[in-house]
Structure formats: structure tokens, C-alpha cells
Amino acid sequence: MSIRKSRNYFSPDYMNQQKEKDKSYGLHPLDGYLKKDRIPHIWCPGCGLGVVLSSFLRALDHSGIPKEKTAVVSGIGCTGRVAGYLNMDSFHLTHGRAIPFATGLKVGNPDMVTTVFSGDGDLFAIGGNHFIHAARRNVDFNVICVNNFNFGMTGGQAGPTTPTEATTTTTPFGGFEHPFNLPAVAAGSGAVYVARWTAYHVEALIRSLEEALNKKGFCFVEVLTPCPTGYGRRTGQKTGKEAMKYYKENSRIEHGADPTEVSLDQDEIIVGKFVDREAPTYQERRGEIFQAIRKKKGVE
Amino acid sequence: MESKTEGKIMEEKEGEKCWMVASEKKEGAVCLIKERCKGCGFCIEFCPVKALEFSEKTTDKGYHPPKMTGDCILCGKCEKMCPEFAIYVKEEDE
Amino acid sequence: MKPDTYFIDGNTACAEGAIAAGCTFFASYPITPATEILETMAKRFPEIHGSYLQMEDELASIAAVIGASWAGRKAMTATSGPGFSLMMENYGFALMTETPCVIVNVMRGGPSTGLPTMVAQGDVMQTRWGTHGDVGVVVYCPGSPQEMFDMTVEAFNTAERYRLPVVLLSDAVVAHMTEKVVIPPKEELDIVNRKKPKNSPEEYLPYCPDEDLVPPMACAGEGYGVHVTGLTHDERGYPSVDEKTQTFLVTRLINKIRKNSDDILKYEEYKVDDAEIIIVAYGSVSRSAREAVDMARAEGIKVGLLRPITLWPFPEDRIYELAAKGVKAFLVAEINFGQIVYEVQRCTDGHCPTYLAPRMGGSIHTPEELVERLYGINEGKEGSN
């Protein structure tokens, strides 16, 4: 079959579906960051992912960083679908490999303000080894972890941050593994900026994301996010609203808290900015050494 | 075309429904792109002045979008809280 | 290294070949017998503004290489069997997203940890079928340190021209032996760069192919707002998870290599024209085979050598042509339990028998050993393999 002719790509019903969407495209102030015909997105009613995404786009908007100089890399999972909605250089990687890809992208083109936008499973289960090494190297990009405590896309299995006793499809009788304290993992690995917010704390989240976008080095922001379909309905938070209300009533902001003290098995959810320090980035350290060598070898 | 059925003064353009709001300090509108709404209720739940309620009518997909019934202060909380990029604030530029 | 004649090992020649081809990004993880490539890159890259990254594992190495390629760089990684196995998923991702890059696999004894410092050729079929799903691949198999240089340059050119990850399938002997290597001046090297879009960001479709089935490639930071996903995607790069898009995309990805295979295909022949028996051997084994051809001819047995330089695409037509022309038999010599032998058998289409000279790994065939098999075949004493 000749490749050219077989392309009846835009079927009629697809076209009028587009007309309907196109009409409303551009009305919302953040529409410019979103792909024209990809909204409404795939995430469930009550899922907090859209809140985190809109907070990120709002932070990007405030920061004034041009869209052309921004890249978003996401892995596999519900959060993995973020890249597909963005009207900018966006990369939807294999499961767990968003971070090393971002390392290659950032070192390959240092001008790109790069953000890895992925979930708790992608970043800390299969991708854990890459996370701790990228943080250790202090590669200059941001990691936003949408922590909804389970593998949502595949229907609600237990993940590395699932609370110990929680019931999930793979812990039908209650879990028995101790979950990560993500800020502790990030700070312990060397991240220069570590913050945790929930999807309820939108104003603070937007400010925090803007800080991360403007900060040099490996910046990590964890966002506790409702997942009614995969996680909430089996753990007493049937709707996103209930989860958000729970965050509102049980969170306490404590900037500068010791990251190792903010595990989630306490009564209160401690949120805030825990680490914000300066350190030379991976590229800066390498740049200095390589410049010295080039000078020594008389190579420009 | 303005009608009062959906609460406050409302104006509807293609796909978008705007509630004109004139509080003492600010003038502007809160606009809703109905078909994007999935009825999660975040905007209604976390509006600081409880100006929004669930509409009895539904979108084509069967979700109950919000409607403006209270005295909005154009703070934009609903816009920031919305996961669907469906509701937003338009301020009259002075 | 400046253009000159050198006496260097295969791995160093490979690194120099990458630099000559314009590679400025290298990410990998140490593994015998490929480590010298990493070390050469680490030493040489600062001089040419290259970026060398020592990653935490091979999964990260290939992912970083793909990331750098989408940042506009020519990027490469090098590994051996165990690392190559870890790279399979992202090898598929790079094939699916048409990301130009080079993966060097210096084969060693397998399976598993096997013989880390010793030669084998057991990864051949892995380069063809190792990643899940249907793919069109290109794999070069250098037979000497000189070819470690030349074929690395060729691998980059093919990767850039056809937008895919190309494998340079070396082995511990070719990689670690030292031999004369001529590094030509830059002007004599034909260097290919990826096609760039000619139209504007509004019209540009990242996965809309030209006539050669290869789409122009816009990279990150060029204002095209490219979306890259491993999901089945349509010509705009949007995820489009349906059978029609899958058929359209995967067919193109495979035909992109199949339809251009005549331009990609590379093999060498030695005294084949009047040969009654033809040895098929690649990589380090082909060196013994060449000696065996001369030794057998001295004993009056008309033997020739067909050496595939690209394992994929495979010289199918040439083998069929020789078999149909009346060649008595093929003898496939490879350091595994039989992998390319089945391809040769398939291509002879029953015209003549195909025999296998297997070795399990550790050392290459000796010429004498091959000549002995040739005697057997010549006198018809051999049953089928």
C-alpha cells in the first residue's frame, strides 16, 4: 500500500469533534501551554493531576521563561500523560527513565529549562536508582513528583509510597511495606531544593514551582494528590474532594523542617520548603575542569 | 444574550458561560467552559465565599458544572483549583 | 587523534571513529570488554567540547543518549552483553521515536556473566529481535580495528540518515586486538547529519515522512514544540492508540530500512567467484575463515568467504544468488550454537546444504579447524548440520 494515499487521517467525525474543541481553545489563560485538541484531558474527575499541571503552567507563566526554552519529560503512568498535553518540547519516556533522559537532554542542551513531571511509582519504584544519582550529581533540572500513593494507571496497585496498612489491588488484606519519605530521599541524595505541598495548597505550590524553575541545580517538589479511582475509593476517600478536605484539615506548614522528620505516618501532613541551598551543578563542576584541560592543552 | 436562570447575571458565548461580577473593589467575570468540566466540585468546595454551587443541568457528558449564586470577590481560587482548565477569572482592565 | 596511521586497539579506534563522525555526547557504564571506549571518550571529549557522562547503569546510559540526541547532539553509548540486555526497552523506544544514536555492543561470552574477558558472538539475534515488537534494525559488525573506526563513522551516518539507533556489534577480539588503523583527514570523511524541517513550526508534522520514509527531525529548543512518545503516535506525534495508526506507523518504520536496504547493505567477498563451498563468517571469526580459504585452496578445495559487514540488513539476495548458481554448500562459522546459520539456510532456499561450525565462546575458530570441516563437506561425508 503506498504510504501517501492511505493517509485518510482526518476522518469526518474526528473533524467536527475538533471544531467543537477548537471553539473553546484559547479562552482559558493557560490554553497557550496546552495542545489545542488534547483538552479535556484523560484524568479522572477528582484527580488532582490537573491541579498540579495547572499550577506548574501558572508558575511557568509567572517565571517568564519562554515556552521554546522549556522541556517537560514524563514517564509512564497517569502523570506520564502530562507531556502529551503540552504545547512545548515534551517527551513521554519509558517507565522510570524520564530522569536519565532529562540528564541527557539537559547536558546536551544546557539552555533548556527541563522539568521531569512524573508519579510516585515512575520516579521511586522503577526509576529510584536514576533519581538518587541525578540528585547526587545535582544535574540542573526540576523533578515534580505527583504522589498519589499508588500505581493509578494500572488500576491501583501498591507503590513505594503507599501507606503501610493501605488496601490496594495488590495488598487486598492491607500492606506491610514501609513507604519512602520522599523529601528525606531527595535531601539525602543531594537535591538542593526540596519541598512538599498537597494539591490543596495551590498558591504555595505555584510559588514553590516558580522557585524551582528559577533555581540552579536538582530541585524536587513532592505534591500529595488525590487519586479517587485508583487509591482513594479503597482507603476511605471516595472522591477527590474528600482527599482535598483531608489535606486541608490535616496539613501543617513548617518551612525548614528536617526532611527526615516529615514521614507521612504521622497524624499531621507536614508541608513546606524543607531544603533550599546553593551548590555547583553537574555542568558547572564539569565545565570548570574541562576549561582547565582545554587551556592546558592549548585547545580552544 | 443575558439570562438569569443560571444564577447571577450571565452571558453565553460559543462554548463559554461568563458570570459578570461587580464587587466594590474589582469588576470582571468568572467564566466557565462547560464542556471541560468533570463535576469534581473543587471550585465549589474551596471557594472562600461559597459563591458557587452545583448546577442542576449537566454537560453533554453528564457532569454537573458549577453555577454562580453567591457574591464572588474575583479572587481566582476556583481558577487555580480547577483540574480541567474549565473555569477562570477575567478582570476588567482598569 | 590527528589524521595519521596508528597502531591502536579496536576500542580506541571506535572512540576515535565516533569523534570523527561528530559525536559530542557519550554516556555509558563500565563493562568489560568495552571499557576502553569509555576511557578514551573521557580523556578525549574535553578537547572537543564533548560531554562524557558516567551513568549509574546501562538503563540510564541509553536513556541519556536518547535525551541528548533530542537535544540535537550525535550521541553514543558502549556496552557488552549484560548491559545490552538492559538496554532493550529503550532500544525499542529509540526505534519507535526514530531517535538517531549509536549503541556499541562488544560481545563477550554469554549467557549471563559468562566469559567477561573472552570473545563470543551470541548476541546476534538479540540485536534483531531483542526488543519487544516488530522493528527494522541496522547492525554493523566490524572485523578489524580499522573497521571499528570506519564502521562507527558509518553507523552514525546511517543513524542520522534514517533516524534510528544503529548497533555496532563488535566482539572482545576485534575490540582488544591492536592493529594498524588509518585515521583519514576530516575532509575525506563523508559525514551525514539528520534532516531538518524545511517548513514552519505550524505546518511541521514531526512524524510525516518524506519519500524515503524518513521524517525531518526538529529537536528540543528549536521552537517546534515537538512531542515525542513511545506510544503509537500519529504524524503529529500525538498518542493515537488504534490499529490504523499502528499499521501505518510500524509498517513505515520497518519499510524505512527494508526499502533502503540496498543502500545500507555492506558485505565483503573473498575468492567467491569460482568457489564451490562458501564460508559465511563475520567479526573476528572472519579472519580465521579468510586464512582457511587460502589453506583449503592450497589443497585443491575451491572455497570462498562471504563476510557480512551489516548483519542487518542481511545479504539475503547474494546468498540466494550463489546458492542458485550451484554452490555445493555453505559453512557458517560463528562463536555461538547457531544463529546466522538459520538466516543463511533460509536464504539458500534449499538449493544446497548449510553447515554450521559452532563454538561456545572463549576463543575464535582456528583456520585448521575450519579446513578440516571443509574437507568433510567437500567429500560429501557431512550430514546436514
* B and C touching (3 or more beta-carbon pairs closer than 8 Å): no
* Total residue length of chain A: 300
User: What is the pLDDT averaged over residues C39-47?
Assistant: 93
Segment among A204-213, A284-293, C31-40 with least mean pLDDT: A284-293
Over residues A152-174, the pLDDT tens digits come to 999 999 999 999 999 999 999 99
CB contact under 8 A, A71 and C55: no
Chain C CB contacts of A89 below 8 Å: 70, 220-221, 224-227
* A and C touching (3 or more beta-carbon pairs closer than 8 Å): yes
Cell numbers linked to A118? 512524573
3-state SS record for chain A? CCCCCCCCCCCHHHHHHHHHHHHHCCCCCCHHHECHHHCCCCCCCCCCHHHHHHHHHHHHHHHCCCHHHEEEEECCCCHHHHHHHECCEEEECCCCCHHHHHHHHHHHCCCCEEEEEEEHHHHHHHCHHHHHHHHHHCCCCEEEEEECCCECCCCCECCCCCCCCCCECCECCCCCCCCCCHHHHHHHHCCCEEEEEECCCHHHHHHHHHHHHHCCCCEEEEEECCCCCCCHHHCCCCCHHHHHHHHHHHEEECCCCCHHHCCCCCCCEEEEEEEECCCCCHHHHHHHHHHHHHHHCCCC
CB contact under 8 A, C46 and A104: no
Q: Residue A5 domain-assigned? A: no
CB contact under 8 A, A28 and B40: no
Report how far residue C147's alpha carbon sits from residue A282's, in angstroms, rounded to the nearest whole number: 35
Question: How much is the pLDDT for A13?
Answer: 61
Over residues C316-344, the pLDDT tens digits come to 999 999 999 999 999 999 999 999 999 99
Q: Which residues of C158-195 are buried (b: 16+ CB within 10 A; e: fewer)?
A: bbbbbbbbbbbbbbbbbbbeebebebeeeeebeebebb
Report how far residue C130's alpha carbon sits from residue C128's, in angstroms, rounded to the nearest whole number: 6
Report how far residue C196's alpha carbon sits from residue C245's, in angstroms, rounded to the nearest whole number: 24
Q: Residue A80 domain-assigned? A: yes
pTM of the model: 0.94
A39, A203, A241: residue with CB nearest B40:
A241
Q: Estimate to the nearest angstrom the gap between the alpha carbon of C7 and the chain centroid.
A: 24
Q: Is C300 exposed, middle or buried (0-12, 13-18, 19+ CB in 10 A)?
A: exposed
ipTM entry: 0.94
Q: Is C7 exposed, middle or buried (0-12, 13-18, 19+ CB in 10 A)?
A: exposed
Q: How close B32 gets to chain A, by Cα (Å)?
A: 9
Report how far residue C225's alpha carbon sits from residue B20's, in angstroms, rounded to the nearest whole number: 36
Question: How much is the pLDDT for A37?
Answer: 78
Q: Is C376 exposed, middle or buried (0-12, 13-18, 19+ CB in 10 A)?
A: middle
Chain A CB contacts of C95 below 8 Å: none
Question: Do B26 and B51 touch, CB atoms closer than 8 A?
Answer: no
* Residue B4 binned pLDDT confidence (cut-offs 50, 70, 90): very low
Domain membership of residue A146 as a residue range: 12-20+34-296
Q: How far apart are the first and last CA of chain A?
A: 53
Q: Residue A155 domain-assigned? A: yes
**φ, ψ dihedrals at C278, nearest 5°:** -120, 125
Percent over 90 (pLDDT), chain B = 45
CB contact under 8 A, A90 and C227: yes
Chain C CB contacts of A7 below 8 Å: 235, 248
Interface-testing mutation among B84, B87, B89, with chain A (most A C-beta atoms within 10 A) = B84
Over residues A49-99, the pLDDT tens digits come to 999 999 999 999 999 999 999 999 999 999 999 999 999 999 999 999 999
User: What is the pLDDT averaged over residues C274-303?
Assistant: 97
Q: Where in chain C is the domain with CATH 3.40.50.920?
A: 268-378
Note whether C250 contacts A: Cβ–Cβ < 8 A.
Answer: no
- Can you spell out the DSSP letters for C243-305? HHHHHHHHHHHHHHHHTTHHHH--EEEES-TT-SEEEE--TTHHHHHHHHHHHHHHTT--EEE
- Hey, is C71 helix, strand or coil? coil
Domains held by chain A: number: 1
Q: Residue A2 domain-assigned? A: no
Question: How much is the pLDDT for B92?
Answer: 73
Question: How much is the pLDDT for A194?
Answer: 98
* Residue C122 binned pLDDT confidence (cut-offs 50, 70, 90): very high
Question: How much is the pLDDT for A25?
Answer: 80
Chain A CB contacts of C213 below 8 Å: 3
3-state SS record for C160-185? HHHCCEEEEEEEHHHHHCEEEEEECC
Note whether C25 contacts A: Cβ–Cβ < 8 A.
Answer: yes
Report how far residue C154's alpha carbon sits from residue C172's, in angstroms, rounded to the nearest whole number: 20
Could you tell me how many CB contacts below 8 A there are between chain A and chain B?
83
Note whether A244 contacts B: Cβ–Cβ < 8 A.
Answer: yes
Average per-residue pLDDT for chain A: 92
Q: Residue A191 domain-assigned? A: yes
CATH homologous superfamily for C4-186? Thiamin diphosphate (ThDP)-binding fold, Pyr/PP domains (3.40.50.970)
Q: Is C298 exposed, middle or buried (0-12, 13-18, 19+ CB in 10 A)?
A: exposed
Note whether C225 contacts A: Cβ–Cβ < 8 A.
Answer: yes
Q: Is the pLDDT of residue A12 over 80?
A: no
Strand partners, A115: A72, A142
Q: In 10 A of CB A108, how many CB atoms?
A: 28
Question: Do A97 and C90 touch, CB atoms closer than 8 A?
Answer: yes
* Residue C385 binned pLDDT confidence (cut-offs 50, 70, 90): very low
* Residue A5 binned pLDDT confidence (cut-offs 50, 70, 90): very low
The residue of chain A with its CA nearest to that of C202 is A87
- The residue whose grid cell reads 583519514 is C184
* Residue A11 binned pLDDT confidence (cut-offs 50, 70, 90): low
Q: In 10 A of CB A291, how many CB atoms?
A: 11
Question: Do C303 and C275 touch, CB atoms closer than 8 A?
Answer: yes
Q: Residue A7 domain-assigned? A: no
> Looking at the domain that runs over C268-378, which CATH code has it been given?
3.40.50.920
Question: How much is the pLDDT for A4?
Answer: 44
Q: Is the dihedral of CA A117, A120, A122, A127 positive or negative?
A: positive
Q: Estimate to the nearest angstrom the gap between the alpha carbon of C335 and the chain centroid.
A: 17
Q: Is the pLDDT of residue C130 over 50?
A: yes
CATH assignment of the domain containing A243: 3.40.50.970
Interface-testing mutation among A28, A31, A81, A206, with chain B (most B C-beta atoms within 10 A) = A28
Interface-testing mutation among A2, A109, A123, with chain C (most C C-beta atoms within 10 A) = A109
Question: Do A157 and A185 touch, CB atoms closer than 8 A?
Answer: no
Residues C367/C371/C377/C378 CA torsion (nearest 10 deg): 140
Chain C CB contacts of A83 below 8 Å: 227, 229
